[in-house]
Structure 1
Amino acid sequence: MGKTLFIAEKPSVAMDFVKLLNVKGIRSNGYIEGEKSIFTWCVGHMVTMSYPEAYDEKLKFWNLKDLPFLPNEYKYEVISSAANQFNIVNSLMNRKDVDCIYVCTDSGREGEYIYRLVDDMAGKPNKIKKRVWIDSQTEEEIRRGIREAKLLSDYDSLAHSAYLRAKEDYIFGINFSRLLTLMYGKTVANALKKDKNVVVAVGRVMTCVLGMVVEREREIRSFNKTSFYKISGEFIKDNDEVIIKGDWKSIEGSKYFESPKLYNEVGFKNKEDAEILIKDLREIGFGVVNEVKKTKEKKNAPLLYNLAELQNECTKRFKISPDETLKIVQGLYEKKMVTYPRTDARVLSTAVAKGIKSNIIKLRNMPIGDELINVTSEILEKDYSKSIMKSKYVDDSKITDHYAIIPTGEGKDTLSKLPSLDKKVYYIILRRFLSIFYPPAQYSKMSIVILVGSESFILNKKICIDKGYLIVLGNEKDEEQESFPENLRKGTKLNINELEIKEGETSPPKRYTTGSMIIAMENAGKLIEDEELREHIKGAGIGTSATRAEILKKLINIQYIQSNNKTQIITPTELGEMIYEVINVSIPSLLNPSLTASWEKGLKMVNDKEIEPKEFMIKLEAYTRKNTTKVLNNPNISFLNTKLLKIKNQ
């Protein structure tokens, strides 16, 4: 029987495998060899797609007549900086005494792509190949991943989607960047008063995100504030000091119901109309309680974190970029403290949920502070985890590659040594995880309608009567603990104590932050503030959990957008707005979030075996040919000049 070769994505991961499997091996250059097994590693990507000049030397020079460039067969090459390690991995894969290869690169599309390219360049050696698919770097999970490893061929559809994603980015980048640079690079350079032509960088996802930033900025610039005037009232019972506050609302029966004088149902367009109403109400002098309604409401803990939600949360709390959040949580994963971070799921799988109690037991023995140790103890003593299986937090249908990010319970000696920010990120993951086992928060709600003549004043009040899971989250603001007005029933007379006009003002749309942009990308260009609603309508997004932070970082690096380090607010640069205009007059569909999301959905359909890879490529090449021809036949340079001049002079 021959040896087994384990190929990891990084040296540190390979060393974890050696240690956890208790292999007594000899360290050589680029690998570790034991009696029955060999452990080696990639250094991230070791193989890449070749530039056009590898196909034909003349393609090194950009020329319109060579576009579109759509190879029949794609060429790949070893990255020069990784050549030494590639040669080592290549020789090990082709060793005669190696009869089985375990693929241990990251369990996701990109990790699959890293290995498959190496396998191709190594000549696809005829060995038994198995895929280790794990959700954390713990000893238990690694052993399970090896024990349950499936044949690599079971992941062929994932590999197809990975190759297609790379080809798609390559085709868009090579063809449209060259096309638009050659057509409009000089026009942009002239507008910016630069000597050299400006390179127009185009990316399938990157360009769409640029469009979202520019369009939001323009919405803000063109926004005109509108003032409106609300009326609030204070009421008291005879011989009572308790003041009851309510806001006027134009509902059915009101003199102003659906009146053109209203800005909306709670405010007037003109202050004078509000003053007239106040005068009429004061003449009446009292109100009568028309309705008192009391209800109870329960609110469950939010779903667990996926990468997008975690990045958004860290941007809001710590004002750090999504890229920095990813680095921190990736580090926690590599320290075995949390599960795989590049996930879109916000729930647990049934299999994981069945054994989740062991995570809580481990966490109780972690140095997480008395407060959270008491929380873990309560979860265990009251057996809260028992009900998790039938909750919204467990749903196999909402998991593709990996379940949500949760703490593993490992890292007892590591936690105290973490940098401050890493520790904070760990704790918000920990608190969110523990909160799902707690009962819901409970609220008592009261709605009071007071009639003054035919006009209604409404008071809505909500009081938290049982914090439930809010105790665990810790950072949540306490609800107001005022009491409800007492002894109020329908027909109770209330005297008007005070009526006042409050001026309001409409607000422009908010600029994206780096975190909220990640959420908007996940939801195909829609920035949905409500967390529950986001989960219900989520479909194919723009980019993936693994790539979104990198896309934002690239846009900042090429100076198309800028991010404020203190607030993480994103705005377009002058150059970015000009590039936007170039694309808008040439290939506007590149700016469309729905279309960009549809390409991502196509890749998912390949992964799910719903369409063949060939079908995807046919559509991709047709789109590229069609738009290349359209731009060549319709230059639109004079129209673009006008647009660029406007940007320069704004």
Structure 2
Amino acid sequence: MGKSLYIAEKPSVAQEFAKALKQNMKRREGWLESDESVVTWCVGHLVTMSYPEVYDPKYKKWSLSTLPFLPETFLYEVIPNVKKQFDIVSGLLNRKDVDTIYVCTDSGREGEYIYRLVEQMAHVKGKKRKRVWIDSQTEEEILRGIREAKDLSAYDHLSDSAYLRAKEDYLMGINFSRILTLKYGNTIAGFLHKNYVVLSAGRVMTCVLGMVVRREREIREFVKTPFYRVIGKFAADQTRFEGEWKAVKGSRYEFSPKLYRENGFKTREAAQELVNDLKGSGGTAKLVSVEKKKEKKNPPLLFNLAELQNECSKRFKISPDETLRIVQELYEKKLVTYPRTDARVLSTAVAKEIHKNLNGLSKYEPTAALLGYIAKERTHKGLEKTRYVNDSQITDHYAIIPTGQGLLALQAVSGTARQVYDLIVRRFLSIFYPPAVYQKMMLELEVGGEHFFSNFKILAEEGFYKVTGIPGTKKGKTDEEEESVPDSELFDRLQKLKKGDLVLAEDFEIREGETSPPKRYNSGSMILAMENAGQLIEDEELRAQIKGSGIGTSATRAEILKKLIHIKYLTLNKKTQVITPTLMGELIYDAVNHSIRSLLNPELTASWEKGLTLVANGEITSEEYMQKLEQFIAGRTNGVIGLNNQYQLKACYDKVSPYYKTTYQTSKKS
């Protein structure tokens, strides 16, 4: 009987597989071996797509005459600095005493691609191949993955989508970067007083650049509009509270052109006119409505990678790339489940075994006391019937949760990594706690035929906030906020008010507000915007079609953002994590906007991602997808070749350069 070969994506993962197998493994150079098994590893990618000049030396020189570049057969090559490990892995894959290959690369599209490229370049034939698909690196999960490994052919459609994703990025990057550079590079370089400029374009990165530039221009062009609200100050038996006037049905200002919105005027004079009338109305207000109700707030869904990256950006001011690095480390130390997931729920199978995770967390001191309630109330029973479990919402992996194992490894990670782990633990434990309950009270008062409204809210039952902490309340009120949070004593006094009561209208005042511009993206909200690209699309039908297929994937979004910052198209404020474009980023946006406009829009990128999902699901073929891709690239590339608008764009460049005076002046001097 031949040996089994286990091939992992990284040395550290291979080590965990070797431990789980519990065989007397001896270390070799580049692999581990026992009498029954061999364990080896890639070091990330060992094989890559060849540069165009490998196809033909003529492609080395960028020229319009060689575009579009659409090879019939794609060429691949071993990455030079990892050739030694490739040779080791290739030799092991083809060893005569190896009859079964267990593919243990990361359980996702990219992990599949890493192995398939190695197998392709190693020319492996006549071996039984099994795919190990796991959600954590605990010993129990590794052994389950090996035991339940399917034939590798079951993942052929996923492999097809992986190859297509790489070809798509490769072809779009080469063709669009070259055509845009050849057409607009010289005029941008001349404008910036540089020797040359290369325009980097890509399926995802150019779309993200477009989102950031558009937001910046919305902010830049935003004109603040002042408005004036009328606030009434009321008193009843030493209980003082405020109410906001609104032009509801019956108001003499209903539909008035003087209104900015139903709760404000365009001018101070119009607001003052109302105040004067109210002050002359007798000083008494009647409570025409008193409404009391309870409002429940359920624990949020579990973390997927995008939600975790957003939360870490807000709480710890760390980039999505750093969050991914940290959670990957926690995964490799067996502390959490697989991080590159889009799902925010668990599978039914995991829910039925969730007591194992909870039992392990009893040894995690910061939250150990919280497990008492779960154990006493047995709230983990029947978890599969809750909204936190939904098999139909899981594609490759379920949400990120703590395994309950590997706790000793927490001592070896950074303080920030421990904070991220604690965040994941608390989000997980919160789903076993009841909803938080708020008591709400809504008052409507009538003074001189005009109506004022007061809304109050107080936390009555902490519920899951015992786990996650009570959200901080904002100081003061913006014009958007409708509820004030009183202290409990005032709220108790307000409870005594009833419909029909007369209260004292002590005073009326005008409060000036102004409209706010859209907020800039920060690194976390950018990741969420990429994940939820459908929300940025106006076409309802297309939005429904691409639901769940955002811009990029959970595995790539942070890297795309990092690349845009690295090539200086975007800047990231490390303290605030706010993202803004650079002058170069805006100039490239203008060039793309006047040549391949669809490349800037989420519709295109998200629909391509949806297409890859359809290939992975076997709903369309690779050939169908590739035909559409080549048509798109050829059509857009040839379209730009026919343009002659380079010098017309100078007006666009002139328009944005004043916002970057320092950058522009520096480039002129250099």
Q: Shift in Å at residue 475 of structure 1?
A: 5.5
1:449-480 CA-partner distances (Å, limit 9, x unpaired): 00112211111111211110011002523765
Q: Give the aligned partner of residue 291 of structure 2.
A: 293
For the residues of structure 1 that align with 2:612 and 2:647, how far apart are their CA atoms? 38
Matches within 5 A, 1:22-421: 22-195=22-195, 197-237=196-236, 240-284=237-281, 285-366=283-364, 368-369=365-366, 372-421=367-416
For the Cα contact (< 8 Å) 1:464–1:481, is it kept in 2?
A: no
2:568 alignment partner, SS class? coil
Distance 1:628 1:332, change over 3 A: same
| 1:636 is the counterpart of 2:634 | no
Moved more, 103-112 or 405-414: 405-414
| 1:614 is the counterpart of 2:644 | no
For the residues of structure 2 that align with 1:537 and 1:618, how far apart are their CA atoms? 20
2:215 aligned partner, one-letter code: R
For the residues of structure 2 that align with 1:105 and 1:40, how far apart are their CA atoms? 11
For the Cα contact (< 8 Å) 1:5–1:101, is it kept in 2?
A: yes
For the Cα contact (< 8 Å) 1:519–1:527, is it kept in 2?
A: no
For the Cα contact (< 8 Å) 2:546–2:607, is it kept in 1?
A: no
Distance 1:612 1:527, change over 3 A: closer
For the residues of structure 1 that align with 2:546 and 2:68, how far apart are their CA atoms? 37
Q: Give the aligned partner of residue 625 of structure 1.
A: 634
| 1:588 is the counterpart of 2:586 | no
1:203 alignment partner, SS class? coil
1:534-577 CA-partner distances (Å, limit 9, x unpaired): 99995310000000000000001110010011111111101111
For the Cα contact (< 8 Å) 1:359–1:409, is it kept in 2?
A: yes
For the Cα contact (< 8 Å) 2:546–2:606, is it kept in 1?
A: no
For the residues of structure 2 that align with 1:623 and 1:163, how far apart are their CA atoms? 18
Distance 1:48 1:143, change over 3 A: same
Q: Shift in Å at residue 336 of structure 1?
A: 0.2
Q: Give the aligned partner of residue 422 of structure 2.
A: 427
RMSD over aligned CA atoms reads 1.6
1:620 aligned partner, one-letter code: L
For the residues of structure 2 that align with 1:183 and 1:102, how far apart are their CA atoms? 49
For the Cα contact (< 8 Å) 1:78–1:86, is it kept in 2?
A: yes
1:473-498 CA-partner distances (Å, limit 9, x unpaired): 02523765431413322211111112
Distance 1:245 1:645, change over 3 A: closer
1:293 aligned partner, one-letter code: E
Q: Shift in Å at residue 293 of structure 1?
A: 1.0
Q: Give the aligned partner of residue 476 of structure 2.
A: none
Distance 1:539 1:437, change over 3 A: same
Q: Shift in Å at residue 274 of structure 1?
A: 0.7
2:407 alignment partner, SS class? coil
For the residues of structure 2 that align with 1:430 and 1:230, how far apart are their CA atoms? 44
1:540 alignment partner, SS class? coil
1:328 aligned partner, one-letter code: I
Q: Shift in Å at residue 178 of structure 1?
A: 0.7
2:463 to 468, 493, 497: 468
1:345-400 CA-partner distances (Å, limit 9, x unpaired): 0000111001101110110123x22xx21111211121011132111100011111
For the residues of structure 2 that align with 1:504 and 1:527, how far apart are their CA atoms? 28
Unaligned runs of 5+ in 2: 474-484, 538-542, 660-670
Q: Shift in Å at residue 20 of structure 1?
A: 1.7
Moved more, 379-388 or 617-626: 379-388
For the Cα contact (< 8 Å) 2:546–2:610, is it kept in 1?
A: no
Q: Shift in Å at residue 417 of structure 1?
A: 3.5
For the residues of structure 2 that align with 1:565 and 1:244, how far apart are their CA atoms? 42
Q: Shift in Å at residue 244 of structure 1?
A: 2.8
For the Cα contact (< 8 Å) 2:438–2:459, is it kept in 1?
A: yes
2:526 to 505, 517, 520: 517
Q: TM-score, normalised by structure 2?
A: 0.93
Distance 1:357 1:42, change over 3 A: same
1:88-137 CA-partner distances (Å, limit 9, x unpaired): 11011111110000000000000000000001001132200000000000
For the residues of structure 2 that align with 1:84 and 1:535, how far apart are their CA atoms? 48
2:210 alignment partner, SS class? helix
| 1:545 is the counterpart of 2:544 | no
Distance 1:232 1:537, change over 3 A: farther
For the residues of structure 1 that align with 2:50 and 2:486, how far apart are their CA atoms? 62
For the Cα contact (< 8 Å) 1:346–1:404, is it kept in 2?
A: yes
2:584 aligned partner, one-letter code: L
Which consecutive segments of 4 or more residues in structure 1 shift more than 3 A? 478-481, 525-528, 534-538
Q: Give the aligned partner of residue 662 of structure 2.
A: none
| 1:567 is the counterpart of 2:562 | no
Q: TM-score, normalised by structure 1?
A: 0.96
For the Cα contact (< 8 Å) 1:517–1:527, is it kept in 2?
A: no
For the residues of structure 1 that align with 2:325 and 2:470, how far apart are their CA atoms? 24
For the residues of structure 1 that align with 2:11 and 2:470, how far apart are their CA atoms? 38
For the residues of structure 2 that align with 1:2 and 1:322, how far apart are their CA atoms? 44
1:144-201 CA-partner distances (Å, limit 9, x unpaired): 0000000000001110110000000001001111111111110110010112x21010
1:226-248 CA-partner distances (Å, limit 9, x unpaired): 110111111123xx211132111
Q: How many residues align?
A: 639
Q: Shift in Å at residue 418 of structure 1?
A: 2.5
For the residues of structure 2 that align with 1:537 and 1:267, how far apart are their CA atoms? 39
Q: Shift in Å at residue 19 of structure 1?
A: 1.1
Q: Give the aligned partner of residue 531 of structure 1.
A: none
Unaligned runs of 5+ in 1: 529-533
2:315 alignment partner, SS class? helix
For the residues of structure 2 that align with 1:477 and 1:311, how far apart are their CA atoms? 20
For the residues of structure 2 that align with 1:298 and 1:206, how far apart are their CA atoms? 40
1:241 aligned partner, one-letter code: Q
Distance 1:156 1:312, change over 3 A: same
For the residues of structure 2 that align with 1:616 and 1:535, how far apart are their CA atoms? 20
For the Cα contact (< 8 Å) 2:534–2:547, is it kept in 1?
A: no
1:436 to 431, 439, 458: 431
For the residues of structure 2 that align with 1:262 and 1:42, how far apart are their CA atoms? 67
2:568 aligned partner, one-letter code: Q
Q: Give the aligned partner of residue 586 of structure 2.
A: 577
1:125 alignment partner, SS class? coil
1:43 alignment partner, SS class? coil
Q: Give the aligned partner of residue 501 of structure 1.
A: 510
2:381 alignment partner, SS class? helix
For the residues of structure 2 that align with 1:157 and 1:287, how far apart are their CA atoms? 70
For the residues of structure 2 that align with 1:487 and 1:11, how far apart are their CA atoms? 68
1:323 aligned partner, one-letter code: D
Moved more, 618-627 or 15-24: 15-24
For the residues of structure 1 that align with 2:431 and 2:289, how far apart are their CA atoms? 36
| 1:452 is the counterpart of 2:447 | yes
1:587-618 CA-partner distances (Å, limit 9, x unpaired): 00000111110000100111111111111111
